[in-house]
Amino acid sequence: MTLTPTLPTNVRAPAALIGERRITGSGELMVTNPYTGTQLGSVAVADADLVDEAIRVAESALAAWSRTAPAQRAATLRRTADLVIERGAGIAGTVTAEMGMPITMALATQRDMPAAVLRAMAAAIEAFRWSEPVDGAELHRVPAGVVAAITPWNMPVHQIVAKVAAALGAGCPVVLKPSEATPYDAELIRGCFIDAGVPADAFAIVNGTGPITGAALTGAPGIAHISFTGSVRAGHAIAAAAATTLTRTTLELGGKSPAVVLPDADLASVIPRVFASGLVNSGQACNATTRLVLPAAAAGDAERLLVQAAQQVRLGDPADPGTTHGPLSSLAHTERVLSQLGRARTDGARFVVGTGTRESATVSDCFIAPTVLADLPATAAAVREEIFGPVLVIQYYDDEADAIQIANDTEYGLSAEVWSASGEHAREVARELEVGQVKINGVRTRERPAVPFGGMKNSGYGRELGAVGLAEFTEIMAVMS
């Protein structure tokens, strides 16, 4: 069965949605379905003047929205969650058409998970200590001001909700710049927030590219906090721009996350799950465990199980519920991943799974079959760099200390997994890892929507989700008497 795409053809996303106005704007970027190769439509580009207008309107909404009672803001987020579920089939279908995410995954991660995040944030708002006494003073958590949220294409709805729910929950208006590759879902999600009771002036969208729209947004003096998810290179640029206005930032900049499989783990049950977590969304996930840190003594069994796991993958139409892995997000991104695989071959990689070439048995040019590499030196680009595709690298270790050293030998520090027959021992190893989040024995991020998410080292700083993510968008006022 194939899900019929919910998007009409030739739809044009506006340059901006500000208050009740839909502003057509100028310029035009094409939006293409990566599976069919056909044009879905286009998106206009918001220039600096439109960005400034969006910020001014958001600033005008700050006083009223910041004074709403926390309980009211929590109730609004719960109503938003209900609308996301109610409209979820259309939202998920839109994401599938925009960037090729399989529909079953889109329903789980772009409908169910955002709704869970909204409800968890509502609970966090109600439990949050907005005021507390400290040494004779009263500390108040107050809204920081207008928040700029800049989100990526790979998990578009979840990333929007993670940022916007926390900002609005803290009493801050938001100006959102979604990825220009996935503009249509952003408008659908904004509609859920507005219909749930968020004032239209408190949530604007500005569409466009990073160099034009994003640069205007991050360099604007009216922004109090910038929350960005994307590449390290873009993160450096945003941090530099924010420094000129002393604007606080939350940066989530990707990862090269290890899955550490300890010697006592049951390989037959663990390897298929590790394989799946590394290839989630065809590897287009910042916390995908793309480095498999495995015991050298079990190399033969581990590789045999990886080959078997790859045989369960079904590439195909992402609108078909039977498809496990869809295309990569675009032809340009596919070419980048193929280039990285070519470099890995030059560096001496042994292809345990896959050939490192374009998958020709599909109708789209944006497919690469799951690929597992071995025998690469620790300095190889495929080991060091985030590929953001269906590519896993095996790194074998001799003992536990070696496994921890390998896991930490990276410029990234976003996420990790530890697998062991002993949960207690797995937690001991987890505490040795230099990452912002460790998942033990297969727990998934989507199952814990109130747990803070964010990284160390070049994976950025700051946290999203739960009470910690809520606090990101507040300032502390101390009143002494």
Where on the phi/psi map is residue 375: left (φ > 0), alpha (ψ -120 to 50), or beta?
Answer: left
Cα 297 to Cα 403: distance, rounded to the nearest angstrom: 13
Q: Interior CA angle at 263 toward 261 and 269, to 5°?
A: 60
What is the torsion angle, in degrees rounded to the nearest 10, for the CA atoms of residue 213, residue 217, residue 220 and residue 223?
160
Cα 289 to Cα 257: distance, rounded to the nearest angstrom: 5
Please list, in sequence order, all residues whose beta carbon lies within 8 angstroms of the beta carbon of residue 111, skipping any fewer than 6 positions away.
84, 85, 88, 89, 91, 92, 157
**Token reading at 80:** 């938003």
Q: What are phi and psi of 267, to 5 degrees?
A: -60, -40
Single-letter residue type at 223 = I
What is the torsion angle, in degrees rounded to the nearest 10, for the CA atoms of residue 298, residue 300, residue 306 and residue 311?
-150
Q: Choosing from 53, 98, 252, 359, which is the catalytic residue?
A: 252
- What separation in angstroms does the CA of 160 have from each of 110, 115, 249, 396? 10, 12, 16, 37
Cα 203 to Cα 339: distance, rounded to the nearest angstrom: 40
User: Cα dihedral sign for 466, 471, 474, 477?
Assistant: positive
Single-letter residue type at 83 = L
Cα 458 to Cα 247: distance, rounded to the nearest angstrom: 19
**Angle separating helix axes 88-99 and 70-86, nearest 10 degrees:** 70
**Angle separating helix axes 88-99 and 156-169, nearest 10 degrees:** 130
**428 catalytic, yes or no?**
no
Active site (catalytic) residues: 252
